[in-house]
């Protein structure tokens, strides 16, 4: 669409370049992929929208979850089918598109942190939206091949994205639980006035604004199930959704780093998410593994990754890190001004660090929407805000797509090449 708006002509090489970045076959199939993806997304969106609507309509606890000056009234949802239907469809659409928008107030899904049915629905929708549309096509063809009695082999895209998505999730879960369980009993989070009067926050009596509460794994008011869903949902959401059932500030610094890296990696190509994309991260890990084994080929699932894909992955990874660090430095330079301005409102509040700047930059690049609070501060400069907007644009369009917009069409490959020579590296 962007190429059409700016009236940029695309060569065959450009089209192949886009197709490879989006996980499509160069031999076609785009129309079929789009049609099947739309059909599946609309069907799943409708089913979960109805399920959420019925949940909002019949569950009386909704009235307890949504109480507070900055929240939607739960009484408007309970026993009000048409309004519950609208909220259900809106929530389902936002989740499956990894948009992160909600109509519940200022705290995303935090009032529903013990509504496990709603949390699980959002987890499923976020996963479906971020796994990549070519996976839908693969499953569709697998289903019809089985009906015909034929054998269908999943594509390399489906195998890589699914295995690395789940593998990264399991690794991140294990790392976060180790960090949180072994962490000292610190006080890391400042509760504000809206949460004080919210019955859904079963964290005990909080006397006034500015009082710090414990990190979640040392808070006796949360059950083991609560803590598991805090971590699990935060990881799923960090892959691009932007919903939260607990503030990221209640996690330890090591956990926030893992969440930031997940936001930087993002979702699969040809999905509703952003970031460097999961396949790029997978190729980088495979490249490191190949170098460690002193192998000249990068292979996975009995397939060899092309050199062009490796070069593009290295370029995308390097450029993304440079951009994120550059914007993080802008944000860090504003911390002093932000701290000075907010001392009048929250004297004993949270103090920002470079980690918060890095967290915000990764969230912008991954088009996630999770925040440490820094980006919402009044003292943030115009340059920092423009930097975050720029990262959001690059993260969604992808670095490859951005480069393609700004360059001329690919020229035919030269028929000659220069002599090859080795250069000493680290």
Count of domains forming the chain: 1
Query: Can you give the pTM of this predicted structure?
Result: 0.84
Task: Give residue-wise pLDDT tens across range 151-182.
Answer: 888 889 999 999 999 999 999 999 999 999 88
Q: What is the pLDDT of residue 360?
A: 94
- Domain limits at 353? 313-406
With respect to residue 359, please indicate whether it lies within any of the assigned structural domains.
yes
**Least confident interval from 1-15, 180-194, 297-311, 379-393:** 1-15
pLDDT single digits (tens) 24-77 = 554 455 667 778 888 888 999 999 999 999 998 887 776 666 665 555 555 577
Inside any domain, residue 321:
yes
Position 337 in a domain: yes
Decide: 215 and 248 in contact? Cβ < 8 Å: no
pLDDT of residue 74: 55
Q: Is residue 8 part of a domain?
A: no
pLDDT over 70 (residue 198): no
Percent of the chain with pLDDT over 70: 77
Query: Is the pLDDT reported for residue 363 higher than 80?
Result: yes
Residue 89 lies in a domain: no
Task: Express each pLDDT in 71-102 by its tens digit.
Answer: 555 557 778 888 889 999 999 999 998 888 88
* Residue 199: pLDDT over 50: no
Q: What is the pLDDT of residue 94?
A: 92
Query: How much is the average pLDDT of 392-405?
Result: 77
Rounded to an integer, the average pLDDT of 121-146 is 89
In a domain, 326, yes or no: yes
Average pLDDT estimate for 111-135:
90
Q: Is residue 394 part of a domain?
A: yes
**348 belongs to a structural domain:** yes
Any idea which of 86-100, 150-164, 250-264, 367-381 has the lowest mean pLDDT? 367-381
pLDDT the model gives residue 318: 93
Q: Once rounded to an integer, what is the mean pLDDT over residues 345-362? A: 79
């Amino acid at each position: 669409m962007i190429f059409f708006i700016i009236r940029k002509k695309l060569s065959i090489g450009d089209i192949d370049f886009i197709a490879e970045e989006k996980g499509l076959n160069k031999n076609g199939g785009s129309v079929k992929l789009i049609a099947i993806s739309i059909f599946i997304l609309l069907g799943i969106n409708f089913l979960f929208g109805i399920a959420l609507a019925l949940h909002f309509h019949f569950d009386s606890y909704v009235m307890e979850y949504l109480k507070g000056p900055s929240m939607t009234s739960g009484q408007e949802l309970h026993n009000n089918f048409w309004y519950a239907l609208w909220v259900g469809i809106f929530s389902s659409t936002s989740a499956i598109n990894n948009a992160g928008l909600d109509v519940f107030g200022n705290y995303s899904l935090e009032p529903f942190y013990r509504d496990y049915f709603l949390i699980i629905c959002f987890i499923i929708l976020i996963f479906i939206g971020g796994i990549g549309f070519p996976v839908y096509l693969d499953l569709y063809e697998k289903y019809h091949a089985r009906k015909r009695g034929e054998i269908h082999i999943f594509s390399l895209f489906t195998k890589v994205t699914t295995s690395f998505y789940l593998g990264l999730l399991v690794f991140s879960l294990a790392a976060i639980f180790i960090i949180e369980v072994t962490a000292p009993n610190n006080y890391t989070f400042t509760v504000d006035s809206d949460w004080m009067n919210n019955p859904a926050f079963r964290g005990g009596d909080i006397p006034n604004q500015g009082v710090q509460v414990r990190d979640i794994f040392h808070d006796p008011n949360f059950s083991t199930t609560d803590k598991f869903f805090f971590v699990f949902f935060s990881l799923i959401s960090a892959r691009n959704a932007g919903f939260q059932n607990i503030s990221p500030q209640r996690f330890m610094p090591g956990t926030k780093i893992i969440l930031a890296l997940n936001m930087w990696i993002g979702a699969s190509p040809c999905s509703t998410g952003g970031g460097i994309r999961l396949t790029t991260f997978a190729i980088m890990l495979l490249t490191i593994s190949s170098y460690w084994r002193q192998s000249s080929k990068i292979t996975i699932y009995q397939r060899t990754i092309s050199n062009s894909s490796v070069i593009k992955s290295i370029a995308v990874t390097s450029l993304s890190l440079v951009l994120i660090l550059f914007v993080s430095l802008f944000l860090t330079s504003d911390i002093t001004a932000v701290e000075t301005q907010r001392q009048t409102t929250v004297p004993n509040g949270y103090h920002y660090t470079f980690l918060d700047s890095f967290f915000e930059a990764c969230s912008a690049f991954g088009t996630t929407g999770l925040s440490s609070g820094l980006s919402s501060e009044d003292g943030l400069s115009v340059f920092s805000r423009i930097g975050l907007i720029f990262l959001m644009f690059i993260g969604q369009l992808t670095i490859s797509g951005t480069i393609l917009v700004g360059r001329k069409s690919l020229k035919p490959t030269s028929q000659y090449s220069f002599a090859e020579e080795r250069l000493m590296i680290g």
